[in-house]
Amino acid sequence: MIISFKKKNILVTGYNSGIGNSLIKKYLSLGAIIYSTSTKKEIQRKNLKVFKCNFLDQSSTSRFFKKIKNINFDIVINNAGINIINEIYNIKDQDMENIIKINLTIPAQIIKITSKNMIKKREGKIVNISSIFGSISKNKRASYSSSKSGLIGLTKACALDLAKYNILVNSLSPGFVNTLLTKKILGKKLMKKMEKNIPIKKMASPEDIVPYIIFLTSDYNQYITGQNCIIDGGYTIQ
């Protein structure tokens, strides 16, 4: 199977995240032109443009939307996300609003903007990075599960809206992935405990997730749309 993304314009939000960073490296190795976002810094080098953007700041977000409005994207990956854990009766209203905004509202707005150019050429691929907690849940995950469940619903609805234009929209739901966000939320001790509850007895690496996104956005995928693909080492089938 030979896969190439030569001269394809691809947007991957969340440059600094584990999955996003690994995915960008893979796309670049396959010839893509990558646009991404970072809360830390702007980057510009061959085939890579990273916009500094804070999705919790309206002016920063508006500037980013203006920059991508006229870029003719072939592929869009909504990868940026946050998680703040707390019981529903303790979570701060602002934390809940921030989680919903970054994990659900921003992806919807990005699809709204970027799909317009895809519609003109009647072709495109969109993948939303959800989570197994969009299908199942866990204590202290009310806000996160709500956002990721909503993202799966957004995926299905957008797939129906865009199908007649040959634009395929899917979501991908990783289980426990060994990233900085996972380490921050769980800590090393709880991560080891969770690994024992995964049938294949290990967490995924970002590189374990990347090939599925590559396939869904490649020319080999001409018919999968509106689906939520779970990659969790068997965790949710127990």
State the catalytic residues.
144
C-alpha 135 chain-centroid distance: 16
Distance of alpha carbon 192 from alpha carbon 7, whole angstroms: 42
Distance of alpha carbon 79 from alpha carbon 19, whole angstroms: 8
Locate the DSSP E strands across the chain.
9-12, 33-38, 43-45, 48-52, 75-78, 124-129, 167-174, 228-231
Q: With contact defined as beta carbons under 8 Å apart, do 6 and 30 qualify?
A: yes
Identity (one letter) of the amino acid at 208? D
C-alpha 154 chain-centroid distance: 13
**Neighbour-count burial of 164, counting CB atoms closer than 10 A to its CB (0-12 exposed, 13-18 middle, 19+ buried):** exposed
- CB-facing half-sphere around the CA of 58: CA atoms within 13 A: 0
Q: With contact defined as beta carbons under 8 Å apart, do 119 and 76 qualify?
A: no
Q: What is the DSSP letter of 165?
A: G
